[in-house]
Amino acid sequence: MDTERENHQPLEHSLDSLLRPKVWDEYIGQENIKKNLNILIEAARERGQMPEHVLLYGPAGLGKTTLVYIIGSVLGVPVQTASGPMIERAGDIVSLASTLESGGVLFIDEIHRLNKNIEETLYPIMESGGISIMVGKGPTARSVHINLPPIVIIAATTQVGKLSTPLRTRFSGGIMRLLPYNEEEIAHILIRSAERLDVVLENTAATALAQRSRSTPRTANYLLKRVRDYAQVHNKPSITAEVVRAALADRDIDEYGLTAEDRNVLTTIQEIFNGGPVGVQTLATTLSEDTQTVEEVYEPFLVQIGLLERTPRGRSITQKGIEYLKNKKD
């Protein structure tokens, strides 16, 4: 094995860092959000303050984390990352905030999964930059006020509806929704990523990949890497539309970007639940998945392209979904 060469090749996960935009110019699309964030940052800078707290929401892989790091670098401050379900005690928030010694960005991902008691600890931090905690027990217990460095909290969620109103309203800098990307934007992202990965991606191939990328940059980059593997193993010097079709057919990904698992969701609703409506928990159990995976991985895109419908009584397959499955069988 050529260990010398291997040692110099980036690992798969560091490829993600290679592909992640680091500056505004590399961040494609989401023009409205970029404009509003720039105004927020610029206005705060002119006042010599940190910007107010921001909540970003939208499906996974649309670029929320990437935005947070770009904001950190524009502000010239460090970013400390935490994830809602991993914050177990009020003290965790305090220590996270205090690691940002001279101020910075505290990024709380998946904030909808934050424990309700911890949520209340966040309020004073968000409002006054300090927190009072009880120290000791019984008669000697006392409240100690801790001043924290000036931080901006940027939170991200895939499910904004699960946040309580008091928490939502404390994001005074704005609640910003990331929108699905159009095919042109995704093709643009793919072309940039191909340059970074040093592979030749023909324009028609970029379009074919963009059509199958579910309007999501993370999926686009994932598919590009898989198609690159296929081209390499089959000794193809460049990625053509034909290579895209062959590589993705091998992975059972169709022309809409739907996988065998996506089709299984639709088939299950149609065949086991007579087209629905079926409650999400029952659906998840039948699919042997957890509810969160159904809600966050499968549903958003199936709903976006009109194959699935969310109703108050549960999930139903649409007429378009029924026709899609019928065409697959023919």
- Of 170, 212, 214, 218, the active-site residue reads 218
> Which one-letter amino acid corresponds to residue 175?
I
- Asked if 157 is part of the footprint of ligand ADP (rule: CB under 6 A), the reply reads no
Does 65 participate in catalysis according to the annotation? yes
Residue (125 or 156) nearer to ligand ADP, CB: 156
One character per residue 178-197, x = contact with ligand ADP (rule: CB under 6 A): -----------x--------
Q: Is 61 in the site for ligand ADP (CB under 6 A)?
A: yes
Instruction: With contacts defined by CB under 6 A, name the span among 2-10, 16-24, 111-119, 159-167 that binds ligand ADP.
Output: 16-24
Q: Can 22 be counted among the known catalytic residues? A: no
- Phi and psi angles of residue 275, each rounded to the nearest 5 degrees, phi first: 90, -10
Q: Binding of ligand ADP at residue 20 (CB under 6 A)?
A: yes
Per the residue annotation, which of 158, 216, 219, 318 is the catalytic one?
158
Q: Which of 54, 65, 105, 305 lies at the binding interface for ligand ADP (CB under 6 A)?
A: 65
Q: Is beta strand 314-317 parallel, antiparallel or unpaired with respect to 308-311?
A: antiparallel
Residues contacting 281, CB < 8 A, separation 6+ = 291
Q: Among 218, 228, 236, 315, which residue interacts with ligand ADP (rule: CB under 6 A)?
A: 218
Residue 254 appears among annotated catalytic residues: no
Q: How far is the CB of 184 from ligand ADP (least distance, A)?
A: 13
The only residue of 63, 72, 276, 300 in contact with ligand ADP, by rule CB under 6 A: 63
By CB under 6 A, the residues from 252 to 291 that bind ligand ADP are: none
Check binding of 324 to ligand ADP (CB under 6 A). Answer: no
Minimum separation from the CB atom of position 5 to ligand ADP (A): 25
Active site residue 204: no
- Whether the CB-CB separation of 222 and 248 falls below 8 Å is answered with no
Burial class (CB in 10 A: 0-12, 13-18, 19+), 12: exposed
> Hey, which residues does 182 pair with through a beta bridge?
none
3-class DSSP state of 57: strand
SS3 56: strand
CA–CA dist 39, 60 (Å, integer): 25
Q: How far is CA 10 from CA 28, 61, 113, in A?
A: 24, 22, 33
By CB under 6 A, residue 221 contacts ligand ADP: yes
Q: Which of 71, 68, 62 shows the shortest CA–CA distance to 83? A: 68
Task: Give the distance from CA 214 to its chain's centroid.
Answer: 13
Q: Given the rule CB under 6 A, which residues bind ligand ADP?
A: 16, 19-21, 27-30, 60-66, 156, 189, 217-218, 221
Give catalytic residue positions: 64-65, 109, 158, 218
